[in-house]
Structure 1
Amino acid sequence: MSLFADSPLLLPNAELRFHPNWLEAATAERWLAELLAQTPWQQPQVTIHGRNHPVPRLLAWYGDAEASYRYSGLLHRPLPWTPLLAEIRRRVEGECGQPLNGVLLNYYRDGQDSMGWHSDDEAELGPNPLVASLSLGGSRRFDLRRTGQTRIEHSLELGHGSLLVMAGATQHHWQHQVAKTRKACAPRLNLTFRLIWSPA
């Protein structure tokens, strides 16, 4: 069944599809264990108001050789695809119906690891970016708000084996975050696949 026929989220000026059980449990468990063991995690520093701060999560960027990606002032040069990530990419591409040449892995070790409000609207992602977000491990809340606003308009629980696809004009009109939480939560691995049109 096509993901895009499965579960649309009806937000204005957005094209969102969510499949909470996209991946079978045994495969999700295998992928999570292998990726956590294989990935050379990094925790880069970002400069905010003249001070350096570590990014509040661990990350790694993989992709085709030409798929460099710049965001938050950091240039990420891709690691080569591993056999497992190439397998995952093929499955996600089949669901999305388009090629994807890079993936950002974010590892949220506990509730204090987070991702602040942002849109995936960097120039190298093209005019209407498609971002496919696969979640493995512990569930975390994913919030959406209109660009320029402060009120959360919609939230999703991104659980083990779920896939969220953001396409069309979504990144022009909406921002998203994974906020810190004091609730106990298991470590979470998030893979966000995208297509780099013009490398950074």
Structure 2
Amino acid sequence: MSLSFQASLFDSLDDTPSPRLGALGSAVERIELDSGAWLDLRPGWVAGSDELFERLVEHVPWKADRREMYDRVVDVPRLVSWFGPGAPLPDPTLPEAMDRLNDHYGRPPRQVFETAGLCFYRTGDDSIAWHGDRVGPAIDRDTMVAIVSVGAARTLAVRSRATGVVRRFPLGHGDLLVMGGSCQRTQEHAIAKTRSAVGPRISIQYRPVWARSV
């Protein structure tokens, strides 16, 4: 697959473009939302992220998904790939990032990142509608979802279900955003279609595994 995008200025100035993870700790900014939800933001966590983007484009087993919507089946407007607990990940940077995130957040019960889902937004026509992530069979409990973005920036919008307030975060070139607390229940997030000239982006989403209640 051949794609072109505007490389990160920081990556282009770096003499060693291989992907490297930066520090977390105090470099992570906590943004408090309403109703017990929060976001953690760490811009540029992955240095050399353009190299990681190119490796993922080539080596991830991307597939075009289809989904039932109302009375018809439609194409999902992005390419996807998913890796379950213990599955080999397509690049060594991905399990390293998962381990670093789990170390940072202390592996609380039912909040250990174990899966990786990847989405490939090829053009401004690729998008995802407003939603809250389902982790296991429901989203009725607090959970964390971590998103690492590589490639060109796309705007992730987060909207409060209670107030309608929208916050927007341009994510790309190695940025990290973690949604936690009640975020999946009390907020929604989306990436809208855009007519602006945007390059391709890959998001890597780390999630815990919730056992189904019996």
CA contact (8 A) 1:100 1:193 kept: yes
Distance 1:108 1:132, change over 3 A: same
Q: Which aligned runs of 4 or more in structure 1 are off by greater than 4 angstroms? A: none
The residue identity in structure 2 corresponding to 1:141 is T
Distance 1:196 1:121, change over 3 A: same
CA contact (8 A) 2:59 2:90 kept: no
Deviation at 1:145, TM superposition (A): 1.1
Which of 92, 99, 102 is the matching residue for 1:90?
99
Deviation at 1:159, TM superposition (A): 2.3
Q: Which residue of 2 aligns with 1:34?
A: 55
Q: Which residue of 2 aligns with 1:184?
A: 197
Q: For 2:127 and 2:144, locate their aligned partners in 1 and report how far apart those are by CA, in whole Å.
A: 22
Corresponding pairs, count: 184
Gaps of 5+ in 2: 1-22
Q: Which residue of 1 aligns with 2:38?
A: 15
Distance 1:6 1:64, change over 3 A: closer
Q: Equivalent residues in 2 for 1:26-175 (5 A)?
A: 26=48, 28-64=49-85, 80-82=88-90, 84=92, 85-98=94-107, 99-124=112-137, 127-147=141-161, 151-175=164-188
Deviation at 1:118, TM superposition (A): 0.3
TM-score by length of 1: 0.82
Q: Which residue of 2 aligns with 1:74?
A: none
The residue identity in structure 2 corresponding to 1:183 is S
Distance 1:174 1:44, change over 3 A: same
Gaps of 5+ in 1: 66-78
Q: Which residue of 2 aligns with 1:69?
A: none
Q: For 1:63 and 1:4, locate their aligned partners in 2 and report how far apart those are by CA, in whole Å.
A: 30
Q: Deviations over 1:132-190 (max 9, x none)?
A: 000000101111112266x4521111121100011111111100000000001110000
Deviation at 1:17, TM superposition (A): 0.7
Q: Which residue of 1 aligns with 2:18?
A: none
Q: For 1:94 and 1:197, locate their aligned partners in 2 and report how far apart those are by CA, in whole Å.
A: 19
Deviation at 1:88, TM superposition (A): 3.1
Q: Which residue of 2 aligns with 1:71?
A: none
Larger radius of gyration: 2
